[in-house]
Amino acid sequence: MSEQVHIFDTTLRDGEQSPGCSMTTPEKLRVARALVEMGVDIIEAGFPIASDGDFDAVRAVCREHPEANIAALARAVPVDIERAAASLDGHSRPRIHCFIATSEIHLKYKFKKSQQQVLDEAVKAVELAKRFVDDVEFSAEDATRTETDYLCQVCSASVDAGATVVNIPDTVGFMTPDDYAERIARVVEAMEGRAEISVHTHDDLGLAAANAVAALHAGARQIECAINGIGERAGNCSLEEVVAIMRVRPDRVPFHCGVDPTRLYAASQTLSQCITFGPQPNKAIVGRNAFAHEAGIHQDGYLKHPTTYEIMTPESVGVPASKLVLGKHSGRHALHQRAADLGYGDLGREEIGVLYKAFTRLADARKGLTDNDIVLLLEQLGFSRVGEGVTSGA
């Protein structure tokens, strides 16, 4: 039986705080609309203490989406928690997300505090947040470099103080799937079902999505992620990747979520228009090459049946259509198809032979051939569009 997983989107918080990603309130509202339309469970709309702009953006997202579960981030200090509470004031489904670092490294170099001091501050923070809202998430920053017994102790104390969700961030992207799963299993056991376990993975080793999925198997039921995987340094777990993994591999990942996968591409495009960069071309699911085929063998297989080289249809994730990219690796089959698509009819074997020779010469010399280049080539060779005269070349 497939179990429900909550998707906590942090595009507007962890994502927004990374280089090139800061957004104005109208831009944040555009992205929030895409998130609501897609069906994410929780939107982390900002870090209100960070700036007046962040505070206003959280308020604006709450105003425009009165039914959505909206989270605001706060360090485990009263001034942050009070500011987060004020930004969410009057909202129907507010969550305060408070965090404090728990690893030896952070305690020693960042705080110069003892484990007991940090534990006490975590408890006080959750108690204070609880005075404003029922739904309080506690995060142990740098949890994955925290000694596990102590991590369980802090998480337990935060739940005793009223936390409803306990998040175990891999803040520095240090985990491997098996290591993360072991730690999550220990926390799940210690929580004894008293709180939902959340995971927040960073992609420093390119394992963010794999680690999040491993954590589901260990008992986590909330994934924190961001559109296009934006976030601190190498980014957060990519929302589209975890959603697609659950869809494509239910045999191995028997979990489901409320996100409509056909909205993934549109959300990715919306975000790209609001920040300074889009996803890398070969980005899984939403990159411009994710459904593009250039190699002749692949194009031939794809044209015979798309399942030969695609594990999901582009439509299933909202991508307009697969692309056959014509370049020096392409074959006759794809060229034949493109000439037909461009209106030059069903060219015969010999005609394709002529066209293919000229095409490979051009493709060897130039990258990134466009449909216009193919049309020019066809016309130079004397082909014309069906209905405009002869279709055969000179």
Indicate which of Zn ion, ligand KIV, none lies near residue 139 (CB less than 5 to 8 Å, by partner kind): ligand KIV
Q: Cβ distance 74 to 84 under 8 Å?
A: yes
Token pair, residue 288, equals 């411009």
Half-sphere exposure of residue 170: CA atoms within 13 angstroms, side-chain side: 33
Indicate which of ligand KIV, Zn ion, none lies near residue 314 (CB less than 5 to 8 Å, by partner kind): none
Neighbour-count burial of 390, counting CB atoms closer than 10 A to its CB (0-12 exposed, 13-18 middle, 19+ buried): exposed
Q: 370 vs 99, 114, 192, 376, CA distance in Å?
A: 50, 62, 59, 10
- Cα separation of 324 and 327, whole Å? 9
Q: Of 96 and 253, which CB lies nearer to ligand KIV in the complex structure?
A: 96
Min dist. Cβ of residue 229 to ligand KIV (A): 13
Indicate which of ligand KIV, Zn ion, none lies near residue 99 (CB less than 5 to 8 Å, by partner kind): ligand KIV
# of chain residues touching Zn ion (CB under 5 A): 1
Q: Of 202 and 332, which CB lies nearer to ligand KIV in the complex structure?
A: 202
Q: Of 91 and 145, which CB lies nearer to ligand KIV in the complex structure?
A: 145
When asked if residue 44 is in the footprint of ligand KIV (CB under 6 A), the reply is no
Indicate which of ligand KIV, Zn ion, none lies near residue 87 (CB less than 5 to 8 Å, by partner kind): none
Min dist. Cβ of residue 379 to Zn ion (A): 54
Min dist. Cβ of residue 167 to ligand KIV (A): 6
When asked if residue 14 is in the footprint of Zn ion (CB under 5 A), the reply is yes
Beta bridge partners of 43: 9, 70
Beta bridge partners of 201: 170
Beta bridge partners of 260: none
Q: Locate tokens 């360090």: which residue? A: 75
Beta bridge partners of 121: none
When asked if residue 103 is in the footprint of ligand KIV (CB under 6 A), the reply is no
Cα dihedral value 18, 19, 21, 23, nearest 10? 90
Q: Of 27 and 170, which CB lies nearer to ligand KIV in the complex structure?
A: 170
Q: Which of residues 195-234 bind ligand KIV (CB under 6 A)?
A: 200, 202
- Cα separation of 199 and 357, whole Å? 54
Q: Locate tokens 């998430």: which residue? A: 137
Contact stretch for ligand KIV (CB under 6 A) within 60-68, 163-171, 304-312, 329-337: 163-171
Residues near ligand KIV, by CB under 6 A: 14, 99, 139, 141, 167, 169, 171, 200, 202
Interface positions with Zn ion (CB under 5 A): 14
